[in-house]
Structure 1
Amino acid sequence: MTTLVLVPGLLCDGFVWSEQQRALSAQMQVWVADHGALDSLTNMASAILRDAPAERFALAGHSMGGRVALEVFRLAPHRVQRLALLDTGWRPRQPGAKGEEERTSRLALLETAFQHGMRVMGRQWASGMVHPNRLDTPIFEAIVAMIERKTPEIFAAQIHALLTRPDATAQLRALQCPVLVLCGRQDAWSCLSQHVEMAELIRRSHLRIIEECGHMSTLEQPAAVTAALTEWLGDME
Structure 2
Amino acid sequence: MSRPCVVLLPGLLCDAAVWRAQTAALDFADCVVPSYGAAASIDEMARGVLASVAAPRFSLAGHSMGGRVALAIARMAPERVERLALLDSGMEAIAAGEAGVQERDKRLALLHKARHSGMRAMGEQWARGMVHPDRLDTPLFGEVLDMVARFTPELFAAQIEALLNRPDAAPVLQNLHCPLLLACGRQDNWSPLSRHERMQQLCPGAQLVIIEDSGHMSTMEQPAQVSRVLAAWLGR
Normalising by the smaller structure, the TM-score range is over 0.9
Alignment of 1:80-229 (within 5 A): 80-229=81-230
Identify unmatched segments of 5+ residues in structure 2.
Answer: none
Q: Sequence identity of aligned pairs in percent?
A: 55
Shift of 1:178: 1.0
- In 2, the alpha carbon distance for the partners of 1:63 and 1:75 equals 19
RMSD: 0.7
Question: Equivalent residue for 2:33?
Answer: 32
- In 1, the alpha carbon distance for the partners of 2:209 and 2:216 equals 14
SS in 1 for 2:129: coil
Q: Any conservation in 2 of the 1:175–1:203 contact (CA below 8 Å)?
A: no
State the AA in 1 paired with 2:22.
Answer: Q
For residues 68-125 of structure 1, the C-alpha deviation after alignment (integer angstroms, 9 at most, x for no partner) is: 0000011011100000000000000011111000000000000000000000000100
For residues 143-181 of structure 1, the C-alpha deviation after alignment (integer angstroms, 9 at most, x for no partner) is: 000000000000000000000000001000111211110
Shift of 1:198: 0.7
Question: Equivalent residue for 1:19?
Answer: 21
Question: Equivalent residue for 1:8?
Answer: 10
More moved, 211-220 vs 201-210? 201-210
- Would you say how many aligned residue pairs link Structure 1 and Structure 2? 234
Q: TM-score, normalised by structure 1?
A: 0.97
2:232 counterpart of 1:231: yes
- In 1, the alpha carbon distance for the partners of 2:124 and 2:181 equals 30
More moved, 104-113 vs 194-203? 194-203
Q: Any conservation in 2 of the 1:58–1:82 contact (CA below 8 Å)?
A: yes
Shift of 1:37: 1.1
Shift of 1:202: 1.0
Moved over 3 A (4+): none
State the AA in 1 paired with 2:89.
Answer: T
- In 2, the alpha carbon distance for the partners of 1:22 and 1:152 equals 30
SS in 2 for 1:37: coil
Shift of 1:33: 1.1
Q: Any conservation in 2 of the 1:177–1:204 contact (CA below 8 Å)?
A: no
Q: TM-score, normalised by structure 2?
A: 0.98
SS in 2 for 1:92: coil
- In 2, the alpha carbon distance for the partners of 1:20 and 1:65 equals 15
